[in-house]
Chain A
């Protein structure tokens, strides 16, 4: 069984968000880049599966769509245990364009499970995984919070409003991954970093695919007013204010 994990490169989660070029673009000055947290969960689980079921999982490949700088996150993925990396050389503008670029990677590879994060912490597109599945004509399961290969079956649990559903999946399929699927992200050791340099990283030319949406501008939220402090013991004042001032009850 081969697993493909789609990863994207996003600003480190504590990054102060600033815009440039008249609020038309995200200011990348001094930004540290990481694997998108949801994609990292998917990757973590894929690598755990390879460790837990070495007879079943042969290879974990990661793919990203982006300019050369995004190779940092591929190297990181290789350092924590992925076997191969693929980068399609284009900075995508929207989910449609991104999914269109991952499509040939999926079609030309021989993957049994394709994994992608449900969201990304930069533009919060929340669309690539499901789009890719539909474009590729593969079954998809979204909001996956559990994936296991025990007893020769593929057991997947997905989150629904107010519960979970268990699905016995058949390969090939796309899993759109939600929190819960893995807890501890893997950390690259010295050896992992050294090994990563020798692992294959293939760069592919992009296809022609126009984006259907475009970011026009960005803005930062209004700063919040001061916090009204209430002394312990005066909790009934708080509820007065919540009812009458804030209209919150």
Chain B
């Protein structure tokens, strides 16, 4: 028995989510007294692969098959399930990002495994096997028993501390039995934002709502984000009005985020918005309405006009950095 963690790269690099996943997998392997195996598909540098050992991967399976350059749900899930079978993995771990959401359920079909997405924390019990996750879009927690022999979990982002646990790098080539016909989709174009901090990776997020009063007022918000090394986000009305791009929308139907620090600027705090950010460790709210519901979930609040408060925040942030 073992634990297999699927660790995708982005532009040849592992991301923060990968190290969270490996750190979690290492802790889980300790709890179950077994080993953690990492799996990477597609060309990845040796330095990158070795880095996985620094966070506790006992073994690193790697396929350099260049067909894995483009994500295909069927081909990837078939390859991952072969790796799980080969390493007799009873638990398969993935990050709860777009890749994990796509591949975990399809791989669970190959393995006839029960799946729990967005797991937070280590299992509360391993016999019966019970894990915790958010339900009702952050408004509650659920404790779920997985009854199947093999289990698939996706780990909620920002839910596990990254910690080093150096092992001797043990990299092994893995050659999945995949036909060309297993690749069922073909990408014709891609549009990547390379210079921006990703919302789901960010420790700090600065977010604006309708109280920002129009896209032309976003410059100081971006400056504050810049000073703090933060990602930018927005509420649903803002993306619906096209003041900001769709991918910045956080909330019940947008992205669910859980950064260390969340700034809600001019966001009233509708229940649907709060559902997407309630996992944040600390919330700062600025609003001109002292009755705004955002203050019920915020840790720190300022009642005031953003035209005055935002420039002050930028100055204070510069001084604090």
Contact of A135 with B143 at beta-carbon distance under 8 Å, contacts A17-B136, A238-B302 already known: no
Are A218's CB and B303's CB within 8 A? no
Q: Smallest Cβ distance from A94 to chain B, in angstroms?
A: 7
Chain B residues, CB < 8 A from A150:
none
A190 at the interface (CB under 8 A from B): no
Chain A residues, CB < 8 A from B143:
215-219
Contacting residue for A230 out of B110, B186, B187, B301, CB 8 A: B301
Contact of A239 with B319 at beta-carbon distance under 8 Å, contacts A167-B185, A224-B297 already known: yes
Are A243's CB and B136's CB within 8 A? no
Contacting residue for A224 out of B96, B130, B299, CB 8 A: B299
Contact of A140 with B115 at beta-carbon distance under 8 Å, contacts A130-B102, A230-B300, A236-B320 already known: no
Chain B residues, CB < 8 A from A189:
none
B173 at the interface (CB under 8 A from A): no
Contact of A164 with B101 at beta-carbon distance under 8 Å, contacts A124-B117, A133-B106, A239-B320 already known: no
Contact of A227 with B295 at beta-carbon distance under 8 Å, contacts A123-B142, A134-B105, A139-B73 already known: yes
Contact pattern, A 210-242, Cβ under 8 Å of B = 1, otherwise 0: 011111111111001101111111011011111
Count class of interface residues, chain B: 35 or more
What is the interface of chain B mostly: helix, strand, loop, or mixed? Answer: mixed
Q: Smallest Cβ distance from A44 to chain B, in angstroms?
A: 12
Q: Smallest Cβ distance from A125 to chain B, in angstroms?
A: 7
Chain B residues, CB < 8 A from A240:
320
B99 at the interface (CB under 8 A from A): yes
Chain A residues, CB < 8 A from B198:
161-162
Q: How far is the CA of A19 from the CA of B142 in the complex (A)?
A: 11
Contact of A215 with B144 at beta-carbon distance under 8 Å, contacts A139-B184, A145-B246, A246-B299 already known: yes
Contacting residue for B99 out of A13, A19, A161, CB 8 A: A161
A21 at the interface (CB under 8 A from B): no
Q: How far is the CA of A219 from the CA of B112 in the complex (A)?
A: 29
Chain A residues, CB < 8 A from B196:
162
Max chain A CB contacts within 10 Å: which of B106, B303, B308, B309? Answer: B106
Residue of B nearest to A117 (CB): B253
A143 at the interface (CB under 8 A from B): yes
Chain A residues, CB < 8 A from B96:
126
Chain A residues, CB < 8 A from B136:
11, 17, 26, 121-124
Q: Smallest Cβ distance from B281 to chain A, in angstroms?
A: 7
Contact pattern, B 219-248, Cβ under 8 Å of A = 1, otherwise 0: 000000000100000000000100000110
Q: Smallest Cβ distance from A38 to chain B, in angstroms?
A: 7
A46 at the interface (CB under 8 A from B): no
Are B309's CB and A167's CB within 8 A? no
B2 at the interface (CB under 8 A from A): no
Chain A residues, CB < 8 A from B303:
229, 232
Are A243's CB and B109's CB within 8 A? no
Are B312's CB and A233's CB within 8 A? yes
Q: Smallest Cβ distance from B301 to chain A, in angstroms?
A: 5
Are B105's CB and A159's CB within 8 A? no
B282 at the interface (CB under 8 A from A): yes
Are A166's CB and B190's CB within 8 A? yes
Max chain A CB contacts within 10 Å: which of B115, B198, B313, B319? Answer: B115
Chain A residues, CB < 8 A from B308:
232
Are A168's CB and B147's CB within 8 A? no
Q: Smallest Cβ distance from A231 to chain B, in angstroms?
A: 8
Contact pattern, B 75-98, Cβ under 8 Å of A = 1, otherwise 0: 001000000000000000000111
Q: Smallest Cβ distance from B163 to chain A, in angstroms?
A: 17
Are B71's CB and A239's CB within 8 A? no
Contact pattern, A 125-151, Cβ under 8 Å of B = 1, otherwise 0: 111111101110001111101000000
Residue of B nearest to A36 (CB): B253
Contacting residue for B109 out of A17, A38, A131, A232, CB 8 A: A131
Q: Smallest Cβ distance from A200 to chain B, in angstroms?
A: 30
Are A127's CB and B185's CB within 8 A? no
B165 at the interface (CB under 8 A from A): no
Contacting residue for A213 out of B145, B301, B313, CB 8 A: B145
A104 at the interface (CB under 8 A from B): no
Contact of A228 with B301 at beta-carbon distance under 8 Å, contacts A17-B139, A37-B252, A163-B191 already known: yes
Are A246's CB and B301's CB within 8 A? no
Contacting residue for A239 out of B112, B305, B317, CB 8 A: B317
Are B105's CB and A130's CB within 8 A? yes
Chain A residues, CB < 8 A from B185:
139, 141, 167, 169, 173
Chain B residues, CB < 8 A from A130:
73, 101-106
Q: How far is the CA of A173 from the CA of B272 in the complex (A)?
A: 31
Q: How far is the CA of A196 from the CA of B160 in the complex (A)?
A: 48
Q: Smallest Cβ distance from A11 to chain B, in angstroms?
A: 8
Contact of A134 with B109 at beta-carbon distance under 8 Å, contacts A224-B299, A228-B299 already known: yes
Q: How far is the CA of A118 from the CA of B249 in the complex (A)?
A: 16
The A58-108 residues at the B interface (CB cut-off 8 A) are: 94-96, 99
Contact of A241 with B300 at beta-carbon distance under 8 Å, contacts A124-B133, A134-B105, A227-B285 already known: yes
List 10 A-B residue pairs with CB atoms under 8 Å apart, sorted by A's residue number: A121-B253, A140-B73, A143-B102, A166-B187, A225-B299, A227-B285, A230-B302, A238-B316, A242-B261, A248-B261
